[in-house]
Amino acid sequence: MKRKVFFLSDSTGMTAENLGRSLLAQFPDISFESVTRPFIDSPEKAEKVAAEVNEDARQMESRPIVIDTIVREKVSSVIRAADCFYIDIFSTFLSPLENELGVCSSHTVGHPAIFREDNQTVNKAYMHRIEAVHFALANDDGMHLHRYDEADIILIGVSRTGKTPSSVYLGMQFGIKAANYPLIPDDLELNKLPPALADHQRKLFGLTIRPARLAEIRNERKPNSTYASLRNCVDEVRQAESLYRQYRVPYIDTTQLSIEEISARMLQRAGIERRVASL
């Protein structure tokens, strides 16, 4: 069984995609084929997509599913009229919200975190995210800068535990300044915190991983190396975890977690609020 899905939006399409995929994940036995059509912000563009939807309905066994975050009624009504199963996310929730809040919604296209020169608050929150991404890159892999005073959190762990993507994600999504420092064998042998980290103990967060999975990942990068050998991975992980326990560094096993989950769990454990609006 295969169903075609359209994610439609008058903006980037991220909300329709994110919510849509979460909903569809609840039907693991059905195979979905999805396309995203962003920036559908006029009745003319909507007509084009509606034609595409109708064409798919003719060709496939079952009508397409449309998941739609188009705000303006004049545009979304064109899609609604097409031959599809239609989920209109905004209409569904905006009316009840209007009642609860006692005001009309603005029905404008746009997002809270977009940079606009006429809105200094939003501008600031957005610039904070961009700054945090640059911070993550400048402080990746224990690089020279060591602006650890500025860091909100410092991720530590052996090579390939997910430090870099997690640091970048924390900046991108939440505006959290995350540095990361790789625990290399020289650090681990000493069995104490590397000097660069010693002054920042309360900002540290450890990542760990199951040795067998680590060996797999490292083998893709450097096949048949000592670095990737299971024996070495077992040793490094054991030493790193012992270091975390010794210095009471909170840590998390990333083996089965996505960067979204790693990041959300770290913020929760470290008690850091998600302080910047993301899109």
Strand ranges (DSSP E) for 69-202? 85-88, 153-157, 178-182
Say whether residue 137 binds a second copy (CB under 8 A). Answer: yes
Residue 219 contacts residue 228 (beta carbons within 8 Å) = yes
Nearest approach in angstroms of CB 59 to a second copy is 18
Residue 4 bridge partners (DSSP): 33
Is the Cβ of residue 27 or residue 145 nearer to a second copy in the bound state? Answer: 27
- Give the footprint of a second copy on residues 116-135 (CB under 8 A): 116-117, 126, 130, 133-134
Scan residues 34-73 and list those touching a second copy (CB under 8 A).
35-36, 38-39, 65, 69, 71
Of 110, 116, 141, 139, give the one whose Cα is nearest residue 41: 110
271: left (phi over 0), alpha (psi -120 to 50) or beta: left
- Min. distance of Cβ 150 from a second copy in angstroms? 15
Task: Please state, in angstroms and rounded to a whole number, the distance separating the CA atoms of residues 19 and 220.
Answer: 33
Considering only residues 176 through 215, tell me which ones interact with a second copy, judged by CB under 8 A. 213
* Amino acid, single-letter form, for residue 64: P
> Applying CB under 8 A, which of residues 95, 105, 191, 225 lies at the interface with a second copy?
105
230 binds a second copy (CB under 8 A): no
Tell whether residue 251 is a contact of a second copy (CB under 8 A). Answer: no
Query: With CB under 8 A as the contact rule, which of the stretches 11-19, 183-191, 194-202, 245-253 interacts with a second copy?
Result: 11-19
Nearest to 179 by CA among 189, 187, 199: 199
Segment interacting with a second copy, rule: CB under 8 A, options 43-51, 178-186, 193-201, 261-269: 261-269
Q: What is the DSSP letter of 227?
A: T
